[in-house]
Amino acid sequence: QVQLVESGGGLVQPGGSLRLSCVASGSILSINAMGWYRQAPGKQRELVARITSGGSTSYADSVKGRFTISRDNAKNTVYLQMNSLKPEDTAVYYCNVLVTFLNYWGQGTQVTVSS
């Protein structure tokens, strides 16, 4: 069993920054990949950013150049640095961890970008 604890969400003004964190704990032998998804009201959940155990990263086109995903393997933690935030970034952000062949999800953290 794996548990994910997310933090860092909140209310920011357009152009501001937030840093999301997700700590994985439990029966972890190997983390294959970690990522962030988001779901805005009335929209389907979408992949925002992902990082593999080998360090390869991928981003949604809408966040490229503004968001950066990173990980600390020793702490089993993944981060999402979000800069130049826009109102359209408002959503619930979910942490996802792939352990061996099983997917685990966090509870989500609300990010609201508004003036």
Q: Please give the Cα distance from 107 to 9 (Å, whole number).
A: 12
Nearest alpha-carbon partner for 3 in 91, 81, 82, 77:
77
From first to last of its 115 residues, the chain has per-residue pLDDT tens of 899 999 999 999 999 999 999 999 988 777 889 999 999 999 999 999 999 988 999 999 999 999 999 999 888 899 999 999 999 999 999 999 998 888 999 999 999 999 9
- Each residue of 15-37: b (16+ CB within 10 Å) or e? eeebebbbbbeeeeeebebbbbb
Residue with tokens 């979000």: 82
**Residue from 6, 2, 1 nearest 77 by CA:** 6
According to the model, what pLDDT value does residue 89 have?
98
